[in-house]
Structure 1
Amino acid sequence: MNKKILETLEFQKIKQLLLQSIRTALGEEEVKNLTPSCDFDQVTQWLEETKDGFDILRLKGGIPIPKVSNIKPHMKRIEIGAMLNGLEIAQVGRVLQTALELNRFFDELKEEQLEVTRLYYWVDQLEILPQLTRTIKVSVEEDGRVTDEASPELRGIRQQIRRTEQTIREQLDQMIKGKQAKYLSDSLVTMRNERYVIPVKAEYKGVFGGVVHDQSASGQTLFIEPRQIVDLNNRLRQHQIAERQEVERILANLSNELAPHYREILHNARVIGHLDFIEAKAEFGKALKATVPHISETNALFLKSARHPLIDADLVVANDITIGENYQTIVITGPNTGGKTITLKTLGLMQLMGQSGLPLTVKEDSQIGIFQEIFADIGDEQSIEQNLSTFSSHMTNIVDILRQVDDKSLVLFDELGAGTDPQEGAALAISILDDVAAKGAYVVATTHYPELKIYGYNRPGTINASMEFNVDTLSPTYKLLIGVPGRSNAFEISRRLGLENHVIEASKSLIDEESQDLNEMIADLESRRKMAETEYLEVRHFVEESESLYEDLKAAYEFFFEERETELAKAKRAANEIVEEAETKAEKIIADIRNMQLASGSQSGHVKEHELIEAKSKIRGLYQEEERLKTNKVLKKAKEKKVLKPGDEVLVESFGQYGTLIEKLPKNEWLVQLGILKMNIKENQLVKSTENKEEPKQVITTVRTSTPRVSSQLDLRGRRFDDAIHEVDQYLDDAILAGYSQVTIVHGKGTGALRQGITDYLKKHPRVKKFALAPYNQGGSGATIVEFK
């Protein structure tokens, strides 16, 4: 895209705002190199990344990226085998540590199942080097100082340095605080030439002996290294040399460890810079209350409440700007300082920002197109040096635009044809607009010429627009009115300012009839627009009230069903408690009867065993099935009831008649068959009908009497002893009723306690014919096979 449009629409200032949120050097480099793209897929990916940044900023407070320096020069030196200093290695370590932390951060997002479209792709490219990262972190501080933990040798050398310095200070302290203090010009210890010295008066320089390293400006003080500490200073100097050599060795080793990974580290820095750029876009958007637009494949632009991002949010007026769907040319008329030029710049800048992947200062659901070129002729570009007039400079620019424009271009003309004779200028403006429109380009032009208002009505694909002017306050409102041409307000303004009526009427008589008719038509259009706007606001008020009432009713409806389900569940639990109590009593009675039957030694004349088992099953069948309330249960039912499809029987509320749906129509309408009539009915007037419209629903309680399907094997592994015996008792009853001749009880080997308990129980059961451990291939001693009589 041409660089001139970036300058004309001040795209560089947008990038300056972005830079305020950048933390990394490579992120800053990415912002500085940012230009709009003409590739649909590329712009789509950029905007998806911006949306991901918005989501993470909103839900997690942003991507945790610290300040990161530019390590490209460091990696270049590593590539050629050079050694890095401590600060450079610390900066490389910062990149490695940031990559590790980002990887951990996005792993947590994956665990939380936060869906992002593009950022996982970038994070997966990070090369994590945990051992090297830890080594650098332990060895080098952020300011580049090598730590004592970098090597045992360095720790030992520094301990010797500290001990030697302590000894030197102790001896010097004795001198400056003892009897010899009178020979000193000041009681302090200082350093000269990296050696400890004391300030001695010049006349007493022989008292301490040693070496003179410096003197004061006046010559009255000499800085002397006393002979007593010369050897200690020499020893300290040797330790310091050893320290420097060890530090160089450590840095050389760290540089060598970085060498095999320099490409991965450099790529990590680029990824971190890109993530920083995405985070900056999100913070930029949040500060300006911006949103991420959609992209129109047909280049149909719709900017809802678009605001110029470089104008104070408290002062700027938002406007809806639409072009491309029903028309490709907009002619904006209106007074000077009415906001025409700002509207042009807002449209152009929004498009540049959108094609750069940036959020736009528009409301949700706005959309942009993808243009190969955006051209603008805005402002006065006359040049004294080139001897160009205002008209000539504009025309030179327009000629250049006409050579390059095509059907994938957006063209912005400000005051088209201005700077020359009005009649000729209007004719030129019309011909230029016709030429650009013939090439299929999208055009927005501002003008003062009344002839272009007629042009906006007569040309296909062209629409008039204007900037609203408040005659009462004699000031522009800066509101863009699509479909309404601007009109001259000179007579109304003059009248309000006190000009005599006869002067105004005389002026009107000098204007041709067509111009007067046009102004009257425009005035009528404005009046109708205001009436429509008033009615719209009134209707909108009632719609909002209806929506609020609907939400209240919907909430009450859901609450009613939730409460009904809750109360029903409580009733079922209470019923089950009663049945459980009755079952316990029945169990005791049946057990007593069975014992009496066994004691009598005869089955004749007594209750049969299978009858007892069947009675127990009937008691268990009295249990109510309890269902846990699901939060979305009522919503699901409500949604299923509301979904309409062809063939459904519906009640048409407005007629009180039942009908059949035939097909779905636009604007939320259905074609409905009502007897012999077919009618278009709004969807909100239709209620899905049930199959039996006249018969009320009846609640039927069903008692389960049949025995459910029983498995031929009972698995008791992991059960407690008491629970297992109770489960065996119920299982055997169900198995006998099911008609099984034999079953298998799996109890596991374990300690043998459960197996022994089951054996004791089976010995006493009246319906068990015999039992034995299962064969080896069927579980062996971990299972028992039971045969019934």
Structure 2
Amino acid sequence: MNEKALKTLEYFKIIDKLIVLAGSGLGKELCKNLLPSSNLEEIIKAQTETTDALSRIFRKGSLGFYGVHDIRPSIKRLEIGSTLGAGELLHISSVLDATLRIKAYGARAAEENTGDSLDEMFNTLEPLSPLSNEIRRCIISEEEIADDASSALKSIRRSMKVTNDKIHEQLNAIVSSQTSKSLLQENIVTMRNGRYCIPIKQEYRSQFPGMIHDQSSSGSTLFIEPMAVVKLNNDLKELEIKEQEEIERILAALSNQAGEYKEQLEQNIKILPQLDFIFARAALSKQMKCSEPKFNDRGIVNIKKGRHPLIDTKKVVPIDIVLGKDFNLLVITGPNTGGKTVSLKTVGLFTLLGQAGLHIPAFDGSELAVFEEVYADIGDEQSIEQSLSTFSSHMVNTVSILEKANYKSLVLFDELGAGTDPTEGAALAMAILSNLHKRQVRTMATTHYSELKVYALSTEGVSNACCEFDVETLRPTYRLLIGIPGKSNAFAISSKLGLPSSVIDDAKNLIGSQDKSFEDLIAELNNSRIAIEKEQEEISNTKKEIEELKRKLEEKSNRFDNAKERLFAEANEEARKILQEAKDVADRTIKNFNKWSTDGGLGKDMENERNALRERLSKTESKLAIKPGKKNNKTSKAGDFKLGDSVNVLSLGLKGIVNSLPNAKGDLFVQMGILRSQVNISDLELIDEPVITGPNLNRTGSGKIKMSKASTISPEINVIGKTVDEALPLLDKYLDDAYLSHLPQVTVIHGRGTGALKNAVHAHLKKTKYVKTYREGAFGEGGQGVTIVEFK
């Protein structure tokens, strides 16, 4: 990709965000050098890796790449047999520790059968734990080797300590001696040239035997190594040399051991930065709330709810952009500050990011095309150094673009043809766009020229688009509307800002009739669009309501089916008990019959037993028999029945509540418990009951409620201890009854608990149409353990 497009579209600002998310220097270097690719296979591979890494982050959390150092120079030295320093070996150990941690993160659990594109890289890593542990055992820091690195080193350091102790003992004895105090400048032991010395006054030099190693700047003090410790100091020096030789031997041994794993170390330091780079891309995707775009080689761009990543997430407005399917040239018009340039930059930047293997901040299913080049002429291109005007600078860029662009290019023009005479600029812009359109170059251009709006309307394969503008608030909405040309709104904006209407009328008269008609047509199209969008929104809301009602109906049907199955099961169990009881009675009767036959007392005892069985059967029959319904001796008219009236259903022998008014045939619906059935008025008998009347009771249209209903409805329902599935059907039935009974408000007792039952109750109340308000109980009403419901 050309450098100019990358800078113009602010690609490197996104790369800066990516660099911050990498954990190692090598990973940051890969991020810094990331450029878009034009190879479809490479792009898809990179996108898949980013997606798989993001999936792992969501599943297992972030992966840190701290401790990954650049050990490539050390590996080169190992290849030629050099000995590494302590710091280099520690870096190798640090890399191996990071390798172990990262490989453990990449390991899949036994139950995970599916793999992804990163498995091979994780599996190829070699932690080499024995080598890492040996380095850590021998080396404490870059300046310190452990005593236990070897037995010889431990022995040498023990001897050095003994020798040191002897030297200090001798020197302390000299310093604290009464005969030496007058000779000393100070009662201290110091070091000069790596030898222990004592500061002696110049005038007493001849009285103190030893080797002079230094003198003070004034010459009054000589630093003398006493003869008593010269041999000990010599012994200490020899031990220090042996110590250094042993340390070099230890480092050489560790280097030889590391050299045996050169290939594994090279492989690790090749894979670790790659994984760091991939997981940085995934972390950026998570940070910017991105998704993986689908790629094609057909030049089709379809961005869904795209958000420019450099605009504040609280202010950015998602846009939908389509290009390359039904049209390959998009002309965007509308007033300034309306978001036209942002739309151009969004398409260009998304293309660059996607082809670099990065996700884009847009909805799932967004589609991008693979372009070999992206050309962008956006922003103020005035060049003082080259003495070029804005128009000239833009034209230099345009000439270059026309020369290089082909059908595999994406071209973005901002305010094409601006900066010169409007008539000539419009003609020039039209010619440039026509040239690119004929060559099948995917192009987007912003403009103010009405001529280009007409060109887009009249040319096949070219489409208009505009950035919506709210004239009432004088603010852009930043929504991109494809297929609709933008209206300049200059007159409307000027009028809102206070320009006299006479001036605006004069300006309108100066516009040609064709231009005026065209602007009026655009305004009419825009009004039609707004009306259609409102209708679509209403249709969408209606569909949602229908779906919700359908869901509720299915739930009720499922509850009815479950209740029916439970009743059948209970009936079967009851029948089984009855059969068992009958069998037991029959067995007992036969046993008694045999006994009586043997004893000769057959007559009287058998008669008594028969009477007992007859009484028992009579009782059972009275329980099970369905009593025939009474005939309706009273003729009722359709007008006699009102909603909420209590009635007897004669054929069923059940009481119910009128749920609907009679139709032309005299049929109406009656609610009998959980059963709602259509019944003819000839099969109904009104129940005369006391009524309650009042100014606030005209809810069913009758102006009264039946005493029988109101008196049986409690002002509260207790669902504590029930599950949500058990509580909601009870609550639904209770609310229906309470509403039909005209209770002004009721109390739902659900308790505190985990809050799940309370939340479910509130959600149900929110969807119940005849509920006016609901609130938690106040102090003295039950607090958070109850909900007070008020009906409409």
Is this a same-fold pair by TM over 0.5?
yes
Aligned mates of 2:399, 2:96 — CA distance in 1:
54
| Aligned match of 2:483 | 483
1:352, distance to aligned residue in structure 2 (A): 0.5
Report the equivalent of 1:525: 525
Give the match for residue 280 of structure 2: 280
Correspondence for 1:342:
342
Alpha-carbon contact 1:87-1:145 (below 8 Å) kept: no
Alignment of 1:62-461 (within 5 A): 62-107=62-107, 109-113=108-112, 115-141=114-140, 143=142, 145-169=144-168, 191-197=191-197, 210-211=210-211, 213-214=213-214, 225-461=225-461
How far residue 155 of structure 1 moved from its aligned partner, in angstroms, is 2.5
Distance in 1, Cα, partners of 2:555 & 2:151? 71
Tell me, which stretches of 5 or more residues in structure 2 are unaligned?
577-792
State which drifts further: 407-416 or 361-370: 361-370
Q: Is the CA contact (8 Å cut-off) linking 1:412 and 1:445 kept in structure 2?
A: yes
Look up the equivalent residue of 1:146 and give its one-letter code. Answer: I
User: Could you list the per-position Cα deviations for residues 513-540 of structure 1 after superposition, in whole angstroms to 9, with x for gaps in the alignment?
Assistant: 1211122222222223333333344444
Letter in 2 for 1:152: S
Q: 1:166–1:499: structure 2 CA closer, same or farther, 3 Å change rule?
A: same
* Matched ranges for 1:695-706 at <5 A: none
Question: What is the letter of the counterpart of residue 125 of structure 1?
Answer: T
Q: Distance in 2 between matches of 1:161 and 1:31?
A: 51
Distance 2:188 2:468 in 1: 81
What is the rounded CA distance, in whole Å, between the counterparts of 1:537 and 1:256 in structure 2?
74
- Contact conserved, 1:85 with 1:144, CA < 8 A, in 2? no
Q: Deviations over 1:124-170 (max 9, x none)?
A: 33245343333333333464743333322223223333444444455
- String of CA shifts for 1:365-414, please: whole Å, max 9, x gaps: 22222111111112233333333332222222212212222222111111
What is the rounded CA distance, in whole Å, between the counterparts of 1:437 and 1:459 in structure 2?
A: 10
Residue 321 of structure 2 aligns to a residue in which SS? strand
Whole-Å Cα distance in 1 between the matches of residues 172 and 537 of structure 2? Answer: 89
Using a 3 Å threshold, how does the CA distance of structure 1 residues 407 and 212 change in structure 2: closer, same or farther?
same
Cα separation, 2, equivalents of 1:99 and 1:77? 21
8 Å contact 1:293–1:354 — kept in the other structure?
yes
Please say if residues 491 and 504 of structure 1, whose CA atoms lie closer than 8 Å, have aligned partners that are also in contact: yes
1:703 maps to none
Determine the C-alpha separation between the residues in 2 that align with 1:292 and 1:22. 20
> Whole-Å Cα distance in 2 between the matches of residues 251 and 189 of structure 1?
34
Mapping 1:582-597, distance limit 5 Å: none
**Structure 2 vs 1, CA of residues 430 and 153 (structure 1 numbering), >3 Å: closer, same or farther?**
same
- 1:364 Cα deviation after fit: 2.5
Mapped partners of 1:295, 1:514: distance in 2: 43
Q: Is the aligned partner of 1:507 residue 2:507? A: yes
Report how far residue 241 of structure 1 moved. Answer: 1.7
Amino acid at match of 2:50: T
Alpha-carbon distance change, 506 to 125 in structure 1, aligned in 2, over 3 angstroms? same
Deviation at 1:88, TM superposition (A): 1.1
Does the C-alpha gap of structure 1 residues 539 and 428 become closer, same or farther in structure 2, counting only changes over 3 Å?
same
Distance change in 2, residues 1:470/1:236 (3 Å): farther
Q: Deviations over 1:17-74 (max 9, x none)?
A: 1111212232122212211111111111111111111111111112343231111222
- 1:118 is aligned with what amino acid? S
Distance 1:58 1:213, change over 3 A: farther
Supply the AA of the counterpart residue of 1:20.
Answer: V
Contact 1:89 1:144 (C-alpha < 8 Å) held by counterparts = no
Structure 1 residues 96 and 67: CA distance shift in structure 2, 3 A: closer
SS of 1:305 mapped into structure 2 = strand
1:356 Cα offset (Å): 0.7
**Per-residue deviation, 1:202:** 6.6
CA distance in 1, matches of 2:521, 2:224: 102
Whether the 8 Å contact between 1:26 and 1:270 is mirrored in structure 2 is: no
Per the TM alignment, residue 499 of structure 1 is displaced from its structure 2 partner at its CA by 1.8
* Contact 1:303-1:322 within 8 A present in 2 as well: yes
TM-score by length of structure 1 reads 0.66
1:543-692 aligned within 5 A = 543-544=543-544
Q: Decide whether aligned partners of structure 1 residues 561 and 508 sit closer, same or farther in structure 2, where only a CA change above 3 A counts.
A: same
Amino acid at match of 1:17: K
Question: Structure 2 CA distance, aligned partners of 1:207 and 1:419?
Answer: 100
CA distance in 1, matches of 2:184, 2:280: 61
Q: Does the CA contact (< 8 Å) of 2:299 and 2:442 recur in 1? A: no
Q: Distance in 2 between matches of 1:86 and 1:542?
A: 74
Q: Which amino acid aligns with 2:35?
A: T
Find the aligned partners of 1:518 and 1:181 in 2 and give their Cα distance: 113
Shift of 1:496: 1.7
CA contact (8 A) 1:328 1:461 kept: yes
SS at match of 2:332: strand
- Using the TM superposition, give the Cα deviation of residue 573 of structure 1 relative to its aligned residue in structure 2, in angstroms: 14
Specify the alignment match of 1:33 in structure 2: 33
Question: 1: distance between equivalents of 2:448 and 2:189?
Answer: 84
AA matched with 2:160: I
After superposition, the Cα gap between the structure-2 partners of 1:250 and 1:441, relative to the gap in structure 1 and judged at 3 Å, is: same
The CA deviation string for residues 250-285 of structure 1, in whole angstroms up to 9 with x for no partner, is 222222233343233112111001011111112222
Could you tell me whether the CA contact under 8 Å between 2:306 and 2:362 is conserved in 1? yes
* Contact 1:188-1:199 within 8 A present in 2 as well: yes
SS of 1:20 mapped into structure 2? helix
Structure 2: distance between partners of 1:213 and 1:334: 90
1:182 offset after TM fit, Å? 8.4
Q: What is the count of residue pairs matched by the alignment?
A: 575
Quick one: distance in 1 between partners of 2:201 and 2:559? 96
- 1:209 deviates by 5.4
CA deviation after TM superposition for structure 1 residue 471, in Å: 2.4
Question: Using the alignment, how far apart are the partners of 2:172 and 2:555 within structure 1?
Answer: 85
CA-to-aligned-CA distance 1:456-477 (integer Å, 9 cap, x gap) = 2111122111222232333333
Measure the CA separation in 2 of the matches of 1:136 and 1:265.
14
Q: In the alignment, residue 457 of structure 1 is paired with which amino acid?
A: L
Correspondence for 2:474: 474
Q: Deviations over 1:268-312 (max 9, x none)?
A: 111001011111112222222222222235332222222222233
SS of the counterpart of 2:21? coil
**Amino acid in structure 2 at the alignment position of 1:507:** A
Change over 3 Å in CA distance of 1:186–1:130 after alignment to 2: same
CA distance in 1, matches of 2:573, 2:85: 76
Q: Does 1:54 align with 2:49?
A: no
**CA–CA distance in structure 1, aligned partners of residues 54 and 572 of structure 2:** 48
Q: TM-score, normalised by structure 2?
A: 0.66
Equivalent-residue separation in structure 2 for 1:425 and 1:255 (angstroms): 72
Give the secondary structure class of the aligned counterpart of 1:443: strand
Question: Structure 1 residues 32 and 152 mapped into 2: Cα distance closer, same or farther (>3 Å)?
Answer: same
